């Protein structure tokens, strides 16, 4: 079993400019598995707040449908890999295409990244298109299982609306149990990652994970996490929207 929380917070620059939060996030539980999805809407796309919500909601629905329609979810989980990630991208793009048609807007105006984790007791699978990161701790060893994808120029990345999104798909499966999992959009990369060494900072994630382990009330913890993410010491390092998922195995409590 897992103890988990997720937050999507509007960046301070968006407050100043009167812009909405362009990040979205969510969780579902299905067939004894936990599915988490995050998306960072492109800052240059005028409907990216709608786009990121579509990406998250469709990703969760995709895996709910995928596991609901099988009589053997554990076998389906064992077989989960790149092909399912490609199917996911196709379905997300189809949903965005419908929304774009309804609003009479180009699909690129809904652009966003995609980060999805499908988490089980014996196997977990991580998907990503674009920037952001998934990292895990297994048997006390901390490491990234996906990594931010940078474009040709600084500040650029890949979006799920791109025609080459499937070619940029990152997919990584981890066998056996995990101590904890952290997922985030790019608004927190500078605080939590050593970009040159390509490793996460324990000093960022472990206090948050330990507090989650000890939390008696998840709503209280979520409130404290929001205070931290909107604090001056965080906002002076990043003014971008930020999404953070924290997932800890309950056997460690």
Check which CATH number belongs to the domain holding 232 and give it: 3.60.40.10
Quick: pLDDT tens for 93-128: 999 999 999 999 999 999 999 999 999 999 999 999
Number of domains in the chain: 1
Q: How many CB atoms lie within 10 A of CB 177?
A: 15
Helices H, strands E: what count in the chain?
8, 12
Render pLDDT for 136-157 as a digit per residue (tens, 0 to 9).
999 999 999 999 987 544 456 8
H or E element that contains 182: strand 180-184
Which tens digits make up the pLDDT trace of 216-249? 999 999 999 999 999 998 988 888 999 999 999 8
Q: Average per-residue pLDDT in the chain?
A: 92
What's the DSSP call for residue 148? Answer: P
Boundaries of domain holding 210: 2-252
Question: What is the Cα Rg of the chain in Å?
Answer: 17
Predicted pLDDT at 155? 54
């Amino acid at each position: 079993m897992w103890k988990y929380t997720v937050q999507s917070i509007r960046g301070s620059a968006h407050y100043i400019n009167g812009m909405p939060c362009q990040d979205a996030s969510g969780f579902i539980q299905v067939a004894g598995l936990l599915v988490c999805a995050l998306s960072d809407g492109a800052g240059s796309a005028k409907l990216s707040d709608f786009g990121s919500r579509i990406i998250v909601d469709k990703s969760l629905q995709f895996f709910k449908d995928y596991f609901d329609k099988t009589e053997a979810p554990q076998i389906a989980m064992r077989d989960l890999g790149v092909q399912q990630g490609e199917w996911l991208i196709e379905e997300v793009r189809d949903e965005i295409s419908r929304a774009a048609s309804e609003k009479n807007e180009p699909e690129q105006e809904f652009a966003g990244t995609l980060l999805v984790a499908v988490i089980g007791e014996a196997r977990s699978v991580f998907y990503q298109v674009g920037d952001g990161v998934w990292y895990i701790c297994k048997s006390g060893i901390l490491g990234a299982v996906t990594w931010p994808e940078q474009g040709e120029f600084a500040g650029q990345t890949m979006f799920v609306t791109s025609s080459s999104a499937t070619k940029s798909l990152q997919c990584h499966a981890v066998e056996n149990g995990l101590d904890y999992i952290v997922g985030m959009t790019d608004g927190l990369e500078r605080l939590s990652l050593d970009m040159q060494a390509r490793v996460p900072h324990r000093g960022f994630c472990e206090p948050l994970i330990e507090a989650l382990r000890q939390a008696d009330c998840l709503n209280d913890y979520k409130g404290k996490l929001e205070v931290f993410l909107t604090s001056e010491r965080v906002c002076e390092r990043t003014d971008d929207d930020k999404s953070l998922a924290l997932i800890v195995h309950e056997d460690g409590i």
